[in-house]
Amino acid sequence: MGGGSLGQGIRGTPFSKLASLCAELEGTSGRREKVRLLGEFLRGLGDREAIPAISLLSGRALRGSGLRALGVGFRTIQRAMERAGRGQAALLGGSPTISEVFEALREAASASGEGSMGRRERLLAGLLGRMGPIERGYFVRMLLGETRIGVVEGMALEAIALAAGVDARAAKRAYALLGDLGEVARRALGAGAEGLWGIDITPFRPILPMLADVASDPASALAEHGGKSALEFKLDGARVQIHKRGDAIRIYSRRLSDVTDSLPDVVDLASSGICPEEAVLDGEVVAIGGDGRPLPFQTLMERFKRVHDVGRMIERIPLRLFLFDAIFVNGQSLIDRPYERRREILEECCSRDLLVERAIASGAAEVESFLKRAMEEGHEGIVAKSLHGPYSPGTRSRDWLKIKPSRTLDLAIVAAEWGHGRRSGWLSNYHLAARDPRTGGFSIVGKTFKGLTDEEFEEMTKRLLGDRISESGRVVKVKPSVVVEVAFDEVQRSPVYASGFALRFARIIRVRDDKDPSECDTLDRIEEIYEEQLKRKGRPNP
């Protein structure tokens, strides 16, 4: 790959070309065609502009490539738009180049301290003022981290591979090991396939964690693994990757941010409990109550990314570390070894009290009883793992299958919101309410947009509009008349809903045409479920 491309001269490629590409990608449905369009565009740009372009384009990459935490959201953009509309920014010259846009965002991201919001607003306004309406539209979507043009990690990687003339598998592997699209683009274009294949796992360079897929039930999970699975408790905490070399320990979150400073107690546990000179281990951090039972996820979150008062909170909310995989030990990557072998190595690497509870099962009854035990002890469920599977960084694999029981409630829809994107024109997000026996009215316990098919959304929209009471902004209030059966994983305490409760991971299972709103579940029932959860989990200290 050469340097700049032909014909753009010293100014570089205008951002408007990138916007046109977005429009083209958005209008293209074929996957291969998208990859080709983007790949050729990147190739035409050359190294220096391709990296900013890929960072801007793929929404999420913007957060991962030197632009972590831009600090700009809907509100800030709105203000910048107003400023651009008022201002004389248009005098400042024509359409900005891709590089100019990228550099301005980099500057906006690095602004901090007093006056930084104003600085960000001015930077954005300066760019917006030089853009036409189409450019502005895509630019805003890039800022929000959601370009919605059907190109995210997967296709972006294929396009990078195409532009660099390397195997897409090399790019995908590199992404899994680096966790950063911009960095993959840089290496692919700079060093080619060798540069990508040469990337290795090494302490203090976190990799994307392997993810579990969903099992429909215990028996089918077992069947998918050939009749025999390893079972592990699925802990309700936060994923962590522990890196160690000598005395040095660093802890990375699921999205690879360094959370070491928030977790000094976990660092201590790792220091004393992990023995190899070098190690990269996978696990979960959980909050633990006085009785040794896991505390609600909400309680863990009071600790997880905290940077103030960490010392004081260590005493109030102690954490424990549970490890379940070994990724790298003493110079050796273990990701291609089978699960069974990795688990053996893990057991040699750390003390017993750091190991997640595990069993081997070859019958559905064993799976059921292990699941029952996990739930009784206050955990989220279990994960069934194929004994032979490799560790596949960054991929959701059926070698790991999560099994989480859920409950259901019958709730009334009391309001709905107009959807965006492919859901525009439909009421797609429903406010769910339980009956409040004290007032005789309905009290909201959460919202959901999940579970209906396109066809059902269409029909539900019509039904709800028939019950419409009032409308303000995107929200349409309706008379409670539709009852839906809602599945959820847990009842949480809510600081925002007047009911005091919120459902975690609520999704609609079916419409209960056979039920009247007067027959739906009550707030008392929800409180009962919450109390029941707390019997299995530890109770958070006040």
Partner DNA sequence: GGAGAGGCATC
Partner DNA sequence: CTCGGAA
Partner DNA sequence: TTCCGAGGATGCCTCTCC
Site string for DNA, 112-151 (x = CB under 7 A): xxxxxxx--------------------------xxxxxxx
Q: Residues 320 to 379: which contact DNA by CB under 7 A?
A: none
Residue choice 17, 48, 136, 172 for contact with DNA (CB under 7 A): 172
Q: How many CB atoms lie within 10 A of CB 29?
A: 8
Q: Which residue has the tokens 């004081």?
A: 312
Binding mask 226-245 for DNA (x = CB under 7 A): ----------xxxx------
CB atoms within 10 A of CB 229: 30
The residue type at 349: C
Task: Give the residue, chosen from 247, 315, 455, 513, that forms a contact with DNA under the rule CB under 7 A.
Answer: 455
**Does 507 sit near DNA (CB under 7 A)?**
yes
Encoded one letter per residue, x for contact with DNA by CB under 7 A and - for no contact, window 44-63 reads ---------------x---x
Residue 244 annotated in active site:
no
C-alpha pair distances (Å), 279 with each of 209, 250, 254, 263: 15, 11, 17, 18
Give, in degrees to the nearest 5, the angle at Cα 17 between 421 and 45. 120
Binding-site size for DNA (CB under 7 A) equals: 94
Any contact of residue 71 with DNA (CB under 7 A)? Answer: yes
Quick one: tokens of 461?
Answer: 């929209």
Nearer to DNA, 160 or 345 (CB): 160
User: Min. distance of Cβ 480 from DNA in angstroms?
Assistant: 17
Q: Which of residues 412-451 bind DNA (CB under 7 A)?
A: 417, 419-423, 428-429, 446-451
Distance CA 533, CA 71 (A): 37
Q: Which two tokens stand for residue 85?
A: 């509309």
Sign of CA dihedral 132, 65, 267, 293: positive
Candidate residues 44, 154, 264, 338; the one interacting with DNA per rule CB under 7 A:
154
Buried residues in 35-64 as b, exposed as e (16+ CB within 10 A): bebbbebbbbbbbbbbbbbbbbbbbbbbbb
Contact residue for DNA among 36, 43, 68, 525 (CB under 7 A):
68
- Shortest distance (Å) from residue 98 CB to DNA: 20
| 253-312 positions binding DNA, by CB under 7 A | 253-255, 257, 297-298, 301-302, 304-309
Residue 146 or 347 with smaller CB distance to DNA = 146
> Residue 81 or 278: which CB sits closer to DNA?
81
Catalytic residue, from 17, 234, 404, 447: name it.
Answer: 234
CA–CA distance, 47 with 63 (Å, rounded to integer): 20
What's the maximum distance between 2 C-alpha atoms anywhere in the chain? 74
d(CA 471, CA 338): 57
- Out of 122, 244, 404, 435, the only residue in the binding site for DNA (CB under 7 A) is 404
Kindly write out the interface string for residues 207-226 of this chain, putting x where it contacts DNA by CB under 7 A and - elsewhere. Answer: ----xx-x------------
Smallest separation (angstroms) from DNA to the CB of 93: 26
Among residues 109, 111, 112, 6, which one has the least CA distance to residue 49? 6
Listed as own residue / partner, the contacts of 454-463 with beta carbons closer than 8 Å and 24 or more positions apart are 456/511, 457/419, 457/423, 457/426, 457/427, 457/428, 458/426, 460/416, 460/426, 460/427, 460/430, 460/511, 461/416, 461/425, 461/426, 461/427
Which of 5, 8, 76, 202 is in the footprint of DNA by CB under 7 A? 76
Nearer to DNA, 504 or 525 (CB): 504
374's tokens: 């996990």
For residue 31, the minimal CB distance to DNA (Å) is: 4
Catalytic residue positions, numbered: 234
